[in-house]
C-alpha cells in the first residue's frame, strides 16, 4: 500500500489510546472508523474526542471550524467487519493480551482489503508473536504511540522481521502527514527504544527513593527542572556533544559502577502495589491523594496535564513546522 492509496483509517479499541489515535487521524484529514466491543465505550470515546478537539482549538492548534468536519469523519461501530472492510490503514489499540491480539489480527486479515496495512500499538509484545496467525505478514508493522496519543508527538514505527519496505515507509510517511513525529526502529526489540530508556531511568530513580536520598517531591522537582527541562528541547546525544565527550566519559567511568543494575522490580513500587495502591486512581501512590480522591479529581489532573502538554506541543513542535 502506497501513501496516496491510504484513504480510510480503522482503529480497533476505543480506550485510552484508541480514541486519541483516532483523533490524530481525524485532525490529519482522514475518515476514521472506530471499533469497540460495546456502544457505551464508543459513545464515551466520541465525547472525549469532541472535548479534546475543543481543547486543540482553544490552544490555537486547529481552527474552531475544523471541529465539525473532524467529527463528521468519525464513524463508530461494534462490528469488526464493518470497521475494517474499507480500511486502508488499520491500527489496533486493544488490551495488551497476546492471545486476544493474535486472534484479532487473524480475524482482521480475513475481513479487510488484501493490501491494507495492519498496525499494532503493543507496548510490550512483539509482532513476531502477535502476527503468527496472519498469512500476509509483510503488511504488519508496530506503531507505538505515547499517552496521551493525540498530543505526544513521537510514534515509534517498528520493523518486524517480515515487515515490507513499502509497509514501513508508508506508515512512517502517513504519520508525518498527520503531523506526528515518527521514529524508525529498525529491529524489533522488547520495549523498543523509549520504554527501554524510560525503564533504565525509573530503575535508578526508584533505587534512590528506596535509599532515602531524596523525597518523592524533590525527585520530581529535580528531574523536571534539570534533565526534563533540557530534554524537552535537545536530545540526549546532542546534550553529550554540547557538554563535551571527555567530561561525559569521565562521569560514566565514575558513576556506572555505582548506579543500580538490579534485575528485580523496585522494592518501593512492589510494596505499594502489593498493598493495593494504584496511584491517583486509588488515592495513594508515591503521593497521598486521600484528601481529594474522586473521579472528578482524576479527570481534573488529566485535564491539567493535557493543558500543559498542549502548550509545549504548540511551542516546541507545531509552530516550528
Ligand atoms: N495506556 C498507555 O499508556 C499505553 C501507551 C502505549 C501503548 N499502549 C498499548 O495500547 C493498547 C491499548 O491500551 P489502552 O491503555 O488504550 O487500553 P484500554 O483498556 O484503555 O483500551 C482497550 C480497549 O480495547 C477494547 N477491547 C476489548 N477487547 C477488544 C477486542 N477484541 N478488539 C478490539 N478492542 C477490544 C476495550 O473495550 C477497551 O476499550 C495496549 O496494547 C497497550 O499496551 C498503551
For residues 63-78, give the mean pLDDT: 98
Place of cell 468519525: 74
For residues 177-190, give the mean pLDDT: 96
DSSP letter at 284 equals: B
pLDDT tens digits for 247-266?
Answer: 999 999 999 999 999 999 99
pLDDT value, residue 320: 63
Closest C-alpha to 121, from 44, 201, 19:
19
* Residue whose CA lies nearest to ligand 1 atom number 8: 123
Q: Is the distance from CB of 141 to CB of 167 less than 8 angstroms?
A: yes
Q: Over pLDDT 70: what percentage of the chain?
A: 99
Output phi, psi for 126, to 5 deg: -120, 155
Is pLDDT of 298 > 80? Answer: yes
For residues 130-154, give the mean pLDDT: 97
Sign of CA dihedral 110, 116, 122, 125: positive
Q: Considering the domain 194-290, what is its CATH architecture?
A: Orthogonal Bundle (1.10)
Q: How crowded is residue 303: how many other Cβ atoms within 10 Å of its Cβ?
A: 13
Which ligand 1 atom sits closest to the C-alpha of 145?
6
Task: Give buried/exposed letters for 275-294 (b at 16+ CB in 10 A, else e).
Answer: eebeeeeebbbbeebeeeee
pLDDT value, residue 319: 77
What rounded mean pLDDT belongs to the chain?
Answer: 96
Q: Give domain 3-185's CATH superfamily.
A: NAD(P)-binding Rossmann-like Domain (3.40.50.720)
Q: Is the distance from CB of 154 to CB of 164 less than 8 angstroms?
A: no
* Domains in the chain: boundaries: 3-185, 194-290
Is pLDDT of 150 > 80? Answer: yes
pLDDT value, residue 74: 98
* Residue whose CA lies nearest to ligand 1 atom number 2: 147
Using pLDDT thresholds of 50, 70 and 90, give the confidence band for residue 224.
very high
Rounded to the nearest angstrom, the gap between the alpha carbon of residue 123 and the centroid of all alpha carbons in its chain is 8
Test site for ligand 1: of 84, 95, 103, most ligand atoms within 8 A of the Cβ: 95
For residues 6-23, give the mean pLDDT: 98
Using pLDDT thresholds of 50, 70 and 90, give the confidence band for residue 207.
very high
* Sheet hosting strand 140-145, strand order edge to edge: 74-77, 32-35, 9-12, 89-92, 117-120, 140-145, 154-158, 181-185
* Alpha-carbon span 277 to 301, nearest angstrom: 18
Q: Is 122 in the pocket of ligand 1 (CB under 6 A)?
A: yes
For residues 147-168, give the mean pLDDT: 97
Q: How far is the CA of 222 from the centre of ligand 1 (A)?
A: 32
For residue 122 the three cell numbers come to 503493543
* Alpha-carbon span 170 to 166, nearest angstrom: 6
pTM of the predicted structure, to 2 decimals:
0.94
Question: What stretches of 59-118 show up as alpha helix (H) in DSSP?
Answer: 67-72, 80-84, 98-111
Amino acid at each position: 500500500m502506497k501513501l496516496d492509496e491510504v484513504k480510510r483509517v480503522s482503529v480497533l479499541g476505543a480506550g485510552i489510546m484508541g480514541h486519541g489515535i483516532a483523533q490524530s487521524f481525524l485532525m490529519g484529514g482522514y475518515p476514521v472508523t472506530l471499533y469497540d466491543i460495546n456502544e457505551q465505550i464508543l459513545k464515551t470515546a466520541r465525547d472525549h474526542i469532541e472535548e479534546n478537539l475543543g481543547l486543540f482549538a482553544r490552544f490555537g492548534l486547529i481552527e474552531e471550524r475544523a471541529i465539525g468536519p473532524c467529527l463528521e469523519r468519525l464513524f463508530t461501530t461494534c462490528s469488526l467487519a464493518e470497521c475494517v472492510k474499507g480500511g486502508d490503514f488499520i491500527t489496533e489499540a486493544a488490551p495488551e493480551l497476546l492471545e486476544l491480539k493474535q486472534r484479532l489480527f487473524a480475524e482482521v486479515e480475513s475481513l479487510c482489503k488484501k493490501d491494507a496495512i495492519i498496525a499494532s500499538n503493543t507496548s510490550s509484545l512483539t509482532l513476531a508473536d502477535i502476527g503468527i496467525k496472519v498469512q500476509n505478514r509483510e503488511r504488519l508493522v508496530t506503531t507505538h504511540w505515547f499517552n496521551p496519543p493525540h498530543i505526544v508527538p513521537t510514534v515509534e514505527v517498528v520493523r518486524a522481521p517480515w515487515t515490507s519496505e513499502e509497509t514501513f515507509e508508508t506508515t512512517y510517511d502517513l504519520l508525518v502527514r498527520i503531523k506526528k513525529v515518527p521514529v524508525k526502529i529498525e529491529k524489533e526489540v522488547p520495549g523498543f527504544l523509549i520504554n527501554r530508556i524510560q525503564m533504565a531511568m525509573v530503575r535508578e530513580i526508584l533505587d534512590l527513593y528506596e535509599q532515602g536520598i531524596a523525597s518523592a517531591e524533590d525527585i520530581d522537582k529535580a528531574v523536571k527542572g534539570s534533565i526534563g527541562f533540557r530534554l524537552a528541547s535537545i536530545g540526549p546525544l546532542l546534550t553529550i556533544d554540547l557538554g563535551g565527550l571527555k567530561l561525559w566519559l569521565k562521569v560514566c567511568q565514575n558513576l556506572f559502577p555505582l548506579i543500580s543494575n538490579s534485575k528485580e522490580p523496585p522494592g518501593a513500587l512492589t510494596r505499594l502495589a502489593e498493598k493495593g495502591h494504584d496511584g491517583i486512581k486509588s488515592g495513594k501512590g508515591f503521593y497521598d491523594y486521600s484528601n481529594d480522591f474522586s473521579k472528578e479529581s482524576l479527570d481534573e489532573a488529566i485535564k491539567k496535564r493535557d493543558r500543559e502538554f498542549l502548550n509545549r506541543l504548540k511551542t516546541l513542535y507545531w509552530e516550528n513546522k
